[in-house]
């Protein structure tokens, strides 16, 4: 069988090194340099000929992260790697997944095309903004779920009268997965936007009186939606409000918004590194989950056994 080698781009080494540890390998050496004009140059420091290569890189801003990943894929392919898998814990540009107004691009599809054109054989990611983005690829996509790390943590909190809340109508399916595991009800925050990152109005659909409410979303950007939803839920009689968001983008005044919010805590994963410490934010690592997934791919095993809902259905 081909040897497995795991490499990382510049900004994901903090996570990639832990993924490699959980898999049982040292992180491979790759040199990523810049010319005077900021042009990127990528070269592997060791042979990848005939190897199964896993390249770990989240594609959050700046766009250099995407270029690094594309160039690593290309370099691995040209160095005669047997197999190249792009491991993208946070898949950036996923919010631009459709034409919601005239004369705009579908950037999620563009990124999918670029990864395929660069030579990736497979993509592994977590909690895409919309699950149907998997259909933008003509190569296999392993779509891991944040429930695998969030549910075990939530069980340790021993909260009573749990209810789960979706901050918008589009997130109901994700919210229902959490609720089904705990046999709990869901509520929905129906919001109307004037423009991106600006909410005009929000209403709550459902009852939360006396409940410990968990808001569930795939990412948190400025924090405006989550904080406003938490305030609305608490005003309707909830006992407490927490939020689970897989990807902590946390741009602009996000940290200030969260610190001043009524949230008990915000739980995110380490798909994106936090820029600042915040006592209200707890980070759960997905390194072990990705390490296990790489092992499943290597051994032609089942990825679905890593999903909480799959394990629940089997009575685990």
Query: Is 223 known as a binding-site position?
Result: yes
Query: Is 222 known as a binding-site position?
Result: yes
CA distances from 243 to 52, 87, 230, 280 (A): 37, 26, 8, 10
Q: Is 195 a catalytic residue?
A: no
What is the greatest pairwise CA distance in the chain? 61
Query: Is 100 known as a binding-site position?
Result: no
Query: Is 96 known as a binding-site position?
Result: yes
List the alpha helices (DSSP H) in 169-223.
172-182
How many alpha carbons fall within 13 Å on the CB side of residue 131?
Answer: 8
Query: Is 57 known as a binding-site position?
Result: no
293-313 burial by CB neighbour count: b if 16+ within 10 A, else e?
Answer: bbeebbeeeebeebbbbeeee
Q: Which of 5, 163, 191, 228 is catalytic?
A: 191
How many alpha carbons fall within 13 Å on the CB side of residue 231?
Answer: 13
Q: Which two tokens stand for residue 59?
A: 């594609």
Query: Is 39 known as a binding-site position?
Result: yes
Query: Is 129 known as a binding-site position?
Result: yes
Query: Is 285 known as a binding-site position?
Result: no
Tell how far CA 109 is from the center of its chain: 17
> Exposed, middle or buried: residue 33 (CB in 10 Å: 0-12, 13-18, 19+)?
exposed
Distance CA 94, CA 111 (A): 9
Query: Is 37 known as a binding-site position?
Result: yes
Query: Is 224 known as a binding-site position?
Result: yes
Query: Is 98 known as a binding-site position?
Result: no
Q: Are strands 122-126 and 141-144 parallel, antiparallel or unpaired?
A: parallel
Query: Is 277 known as a binding-site position?
Result: no
Q: Which residues are annotated as a binding site for ATP?
A: 37-39, 95-96
Known binding site for D-ribose 5-phosphate: residues? Answer: 193, 217, 221-225
Q: Which residues are annotated as a binding site for Mg(2+)?
A: 129, 168
Active site residues per annotation: 191
Binding site: what residues are annotated? Answer: 37-39, 95-96, 129, 168, 193, 217, 221-225
């Amino acid at each position: 069988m081909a040897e497995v080698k795991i490499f990382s781009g510049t900004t994901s080494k903090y996570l990639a090194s832990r993924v490699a540890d959980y898999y049982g390998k040292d992180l491979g050496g790759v040199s990523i340099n810049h010319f005077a004009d900021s042009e990127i140059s990528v070269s592997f420091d060791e042979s990848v000929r005939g190897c199964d290569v896993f390249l770990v890189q989240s594609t959050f801003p700046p766009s250099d992260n995407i270029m690094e990943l594309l160039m690593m894929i290309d370099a691995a392919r040209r160095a005669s790697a047997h197999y190249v898998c792009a491991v993208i814990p946070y898949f950036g540009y996923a919010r631009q997944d459709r034409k919601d107004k005239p004369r705009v691009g579908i950037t999620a599809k563009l990124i999918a095309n670029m990864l395929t054109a660069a030579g990736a054989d497979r993509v592994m990611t977590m909690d895409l903004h919309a699950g149907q983005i998997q259909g933008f690829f003509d190569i296999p996509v392993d779509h891991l779920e944040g429930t695998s790390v969030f549910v075990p943590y939530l069980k340790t909190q021993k909260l009573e009268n749990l209810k789960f809340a979706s901050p918008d109508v589009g997130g109901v399916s994700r919210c229902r997965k959490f609720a089904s595991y705990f046999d709990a009800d869901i509520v929905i925050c129906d919001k109307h936007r004037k423009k991106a990152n600006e909410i005009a109005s929000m209403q709550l659909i459902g009852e939360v009186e006396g409940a410990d409410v968990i808001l569930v979303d795939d990412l948190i950007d400025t924090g405006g939606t989550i904080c406003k939803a938490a305030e609305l839920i608490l005003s309707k009689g909830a006992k407490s409000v927490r939020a689970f968001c897989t990807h902590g983008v946390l741009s602009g005044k996000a940290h200030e918004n969260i610190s001043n919010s009524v949230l008990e805590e915000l739980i995110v994963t380490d798909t994106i590194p936090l820029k600042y410490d915040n006592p209200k934010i707890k980070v759960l690592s997905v390194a072990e989950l990705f390490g296990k997934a790489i092992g499943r791919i290597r051994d032609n095993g089942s990825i679905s056994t890593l999903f909480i809902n799959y394990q629940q259905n089997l009575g685990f």
